[in-house]
Chain A
Amino acid sequence: MAAVTAHGAPTLPRSSAWLLLTPALAMFILFFAVPFLTMATMSVLSGNPMVVPNPRFTTRHFERILDDVYYLETLWITVRLGLSTTIVSLLIGYPLALWLARARSRTTRTLLMMAVLAPMMMGLVVRTYAWLAMYSNRGVINGSLAWLGLTDEPIQFLGSEAAVVVALAHIYVPFMILTLSGVIARIDTRLEEAARGLGASSAAAFLQVTLPLSMPGILAGSLLVFALAISAYVTPIVIGNYNIQTLPMLVYQQISSSFNLGFAAALGIVLLIVALLLVGAYNRVMARAPGAA
């Protein structure tokens, strides 16, 4: 029989709670903990235990990363790409999420939701190749510019960081909008009305009431987009034309063509550590922001 807490809420016996937790725990162990531990182990072994009978403990993969400025620069480019994509997605996504959350007409909400979800129905690769068609020498942008007589030679969009960020933002902005709109919809509009009633302008009411109250959504959406952007592979390699090199590209290179699983694992661990540090710092800053829970 369920016990009752001091607040009157029923609680489950400990054994039942563990039973309910088991499926989630098993999934977590199987699909996160085991792969992560395998990767961590591979990163400090001298060889693949499947092939080398007695691999030794080594730190050489991490030394290689730390000793060569190239890998640190690539790490910085990866993080920079993640931050830029997050900022652009937030700037595009916030107004749309606000509109979606506050639209009075059900038709408008439905149409907006369809517009947000439609790109997500297409695969990531399809969307990336759509951007390739936009950016290429004879693509939509260069074709239009040439047709208008504005350019003689095509502009080389492919290979620029801005082109990669725009494509990534287009792909990930729906994640930002969906996360934000849920939070914004729960903000009581009477709070804004009260602020305006007390003499605040619309802009001031938004900046001092709505924006701070939507911080949990900004935090969740940003973390989601940042995590997706720093681990992106297809878009940076197709649109970046190898000018833009990121850590996931190096990880894939090491696994698929150099077959150096240890070094690939070390690169993955470094990316994970840096991402966790950034996420932790961001969480801290946002938690102190006014309006955050």
Chain B
Amino acid sequence: MLNRRTLLGAAAGTLAMPTLLGAQEANTLRITGWGGAWGEVMRSKHIPTFEKAHNCTVEVDTAFPFVPKLLASPRGRPVYDVLHTNSNEQWSVFEQGLVERRPDLKLVPNAAKTYPYATSDSIVGIVIFTSAIGLAWRKDRIQAAPASWKDFWKPEYAGKRASYVIPANSLGQALFMMAGKVYGKGFKDLDASFKAMEAVKPVRLFDFTGGAENAILAGELDIAVLHDTAAYRNQDKVPVEFAAPSEGVMALEQVLSVTTGTPKKALAHEWINFMLSQEVQRSMAETVWYSPVRSDLTLAEKYRGKLLTTPEQVATLVQMPWQWYNENKDRIDDRVNRIFRG
């Protein structure tokens, strides 16, 4: 039976609900992130640590694509507080005014410990990890290790090589630019890149990196444009090797930026600082095989010579001109769509 005390309690609870929800909302950091091995380590280890330290909740959206959702959210009330994507997308959203050019580095003390490429002019936001894009190849199928990007175009790999749907995938876009450098005058040599794309057929194209990773692990294909992370973390299971071509490995940066107008700016900066902490940098490097951006980390022997941790190794990373690419994206997409159409 409903008595007066219960009724008053229920009414008070109902009236307090918006305030409670508002308080919870104010304490919730909304970010984007990856699933898979990355997501598992983040969920089980690092997110709970951050939540405890800052008395907050971290909500991660792993349902790609993120940018259209950010675009659809009202100005001044962005759906995310911190945007985590690869560098190419960061340029697009920055040009639309949806993220800040750079986090306030005074609020990110760990940024002082990073290699300069983490905050180079070619980056919007700040790099927290990087992978090297090179060639993953099956040791049981290929006799001589590929040494140059040109090896990817060898006729014997016709139909047995994997790349990506260029309009949709940043590795495909990076290969497109690298083809301009290898076969033409530089990354921006569109004609050379288009010719190279014609020449690379037949090729299996994937929209997600995971598709190419699975195909090469299953032995379905012999060689793939892939990041070192995917190759190294599977070497104990299959005979797959990673080759860093002589022309350089392309940087696949994991970038964080603060969204324009987020009301949780301070917490957003805390999160970025946390991701650059020694603990997270070491843990993600040693469990998920991402190269840390901190210059003061010494990893275990197993990772040396593979992950890019020394200044000499970091110098082999090539940062791609994503701002230029995005300005020309429509033109490039139009043409490559035609090239790869059967």
Please list the residues of chain A having a beta carbon within 8 angstroms of any beta carbon in chain B.
48, 50-51, 68, 70, 136-138, 154, 156, 158-161, 237, 241-245, 250, 252-253, 255-261
Contacting residues, chain B, for A136 (C-beta < 8 A): 215, 220
**Least distance between B82 CB and chain A CB atoms (Å):** 19
Assuming the A-B contacts A241-B205, A253-B333, are A259 and B220 also in contact, with contact meaning beta carbons closer than 8 angstroms in the complex? no
- Count contacts between A and B, CB distance < 8 Å: 76
Cα-based distance from A252 to B168 in the complex (angstroms): 9
Asked whether, in the complex, the Cβ of A51 is within 8 Å of the Cβ of B75, the reply is: yes
Asked whether, in the complex, the Cβ of A245 is within 8 Å of the Cβ of B337, the reply is: yes
Q: Is B139 positioned at the interface, with any CB of A under 8 Å from its CB?
A: no
Assuming the A-B contacts A50-B74, A237-B207, A245-B337, are A259 and B330 also in contact, with contact meaning beta carbons closer than 8 angstroms in the complex? no
Asked whether, in the complex, the Cβ of A257 is within 8 Å of the Cβ of B71, the reply is: no
Assuming the A-B contacts A137-B159, A253-B333, are A242 and B165 also in contact, with contact meaning beta carbons closer than 8 angstroms in the complex? yes
Asked whether, in the complex, the Cβ of B205 is within 8 Å of the Cβ of A50, the reply is: no
Assuming the A-B contacts A241-B205, A242-B205, A242-B340, are A255 and B68 also in contact, with contact meaning beta carbons closer than 8 angstroms in the complex? yes
Task: Report B212-266 residues with CB < 8 Å from chain A CB.
Answer: 215, 218-221
Contacting residues, chain A, for B342 (C-beta < 8 A): 159-161, 243-244
For B168, give the chain A residue with the smallest CB separation: A257
Cα-based distance from A156 to B204 in the complex (angstroms): 10
Cα-based distance from A101 to B165 in the complex (angstroms): 45
Interface residues as binary, B319-342 with A (CB distance below 8 Å gives 1, 0 otherwise): 000000000011001100110111
In the complex, the 10 A-B pairs of residues with the closest C-beta atoms, listed nearest first:
A243-B342, A256-B65, A242-B205, A253-B167, A257-B168, A242-B340, A245-B341, A51-B96, A255-B68, A136-B220
Cα-based distance from A261 to B92 in the complex (angstroms): 14
Asked whether, in the complex, the Cβ of B205 is within 8 Å of the Cβ of A51, the reply is: no
Asked whether, in the complex, the Cβ of A50 is within 8 Å of the Cβ of B72, the reply is: yes
Cα-based distance from A237 to B164 in the complex (angstroms): 12
Assuming the A-B contacts A137-B160, A138-B219, A156-B159, are A70 and B165 also in contact, with contact meaning beta carbons closer than 8 angstroms in the complex? no
**Least distance between B259 CB and chain A CB atoms (Å):** 13
Please list the residues of chain B having a beta carbon within 8 angstroms of any beta carbon in chain A.
64-65, 67-68, 71-75, 92, 96-98, 159-160, 165, 167-168, 202, 204-205, 207, 215, 218-221, 329-330, 333-334, 337-338, 340-342
Known: A51-B97, A51-B98, A237-B165. 5 other contacts (CB 8 A): A50-B72, A237-B207, A245-B337, A253-B168, A259-B92
B202 contacts which of A156, A161, A252 (Cβ < 8 Å)?
A156
Contacting residues, chain B, for A257 (C-beta < 8 A): 65, 167-168, 329
- 29 A-B residue pairs with CB within 8 Å: A50-B71, A50-B73, A50-B75, A51-B71, A51-B75, A51-B96, A136-B215, A137-B160, A137-B220, A154-B159, A156-B202, A159-B202, A241-B204, A242-B341, A243-B340, A243-B341, A244-B342, A245-B341, A253-B167, A253-B168, A256-B64, A257-B65, A257-B167, A257-B168, A258-B167, A258-B330, A259-B92, A260-B330, A261-B68
A259 contacts which of B64, B71, B74, B207 (Cβ < 8 Å)?
B71
Contacting residues, chain A, for B92 (C-beta < 8 A): 259
Per DSSP, are chain B's interface residues mostly helix, strand or loop, or mixed? loop
Cα-based distance from A243 to B337 in the complex (angstroms): 9
For B64, give the chain A residue with the smallest CB separation: A256
For B169, give the chain A residue with the smallest CB separation: A257
For B203, give the chain A residue with the smallest CB separation: A241
Cα-based distance from A154 to B98 in the complex (angstroms): 48
Contacting residues, chain A, for B220 (C-beta < 8 A): 136-138
Cα-based distance from A256 to B69 in the complex (angstroms): 9
**Least distance between B39 CB and chain A CB atoms (Å):** 19
For A52, give the chain B residue with the smallest CB separation: B96
Assuming the A-B contacts A51-B97, A137-B159, A244-B342, are A256 and B205 also in contact, with contact meaning beta carbons closer than 8 angstroms in the complex? no
Most buried by B among A159, A237, A242: A242
Cα-based distance from A252 to B165 in the complex (angstroms): 12
**Least distance between B108 CB and chain A CB atoms (Å):** 27
**Least distance between A160 CB and chain B CB atoms (Å):** 8
For A156, give the chain B residue with the smallest CB separation: B159
Per DSSP, are chain A's interface residues mostly helix, strand or loop, or mixed? loop
Contacting residues, chain B, for A138 (C-beta < 8 A): 218-220
Cα-based distance from A185 to B333 in the complex (angstroms): 50
**Least distance between B213 CB and chain A CB atoms (Å):** 14
**Least distance between A164 CB and chain B CB atoms (Å):** 11
Contacting residues, chain B, for A154 (C-beta < 8 A): 159
Cα-based distance from A237 to B206 in the complex (angstroms): 8
Contacting residues, chain A, for B96 (C-beta < 8 A): 51, 259
Cα-based distance from A51 to B78 in the complex (angstroms): 12
Contacting residues, chain A, for B215 (C-beta < 8 A): 136
Cα-based distance from A241 to B212 in the complex (angstroms): 12
**Least distance between A177 CB and chain B CB atoms (Å):** 31
For B341, give the chain A residue with the smallest CB separation: A245
Asked whether, in the complex, the Cβ of B338 is within 8 Å of the Cβ of A70, the reply is: yes
For A243, give the chain B residue with the smallest CB separation: B342
Cα-based distance from A137 to B67 in the complex (angstroms): 35
For A245, give the chain B residue with the smallest CB separation: B341
Cα-based distance from A139 to B177 in the complex (angstroms): 33
Contacting residues, chain B, for A70 (C-beta < 8 A): 334, 337-338
Asked whether, in the complex, the Cβ of B337 is within 8 Å of the Cβ of A258, the reply is: no
Contacting residues, chain A, for B333 (C-beta < 8 A): 253, 258
Cα-based distance from A255 to B71 in the complex (angstroms): 10
Contacting residues, chain B, for A242 (C-beta < 8 A): 165, 205, 340-341
Asked whether, in the complex, the Cβ of B67 is within 8 Å of the Cβ of A259, the reply is: yes
For B211, give the chain A residue with the smallest CB separation: A238
Contacting residues, chain B, for A244 (C-beta < 8 A): 341-342
Contacting residues, chain A, for B221 (C-beta < 8 A): 137
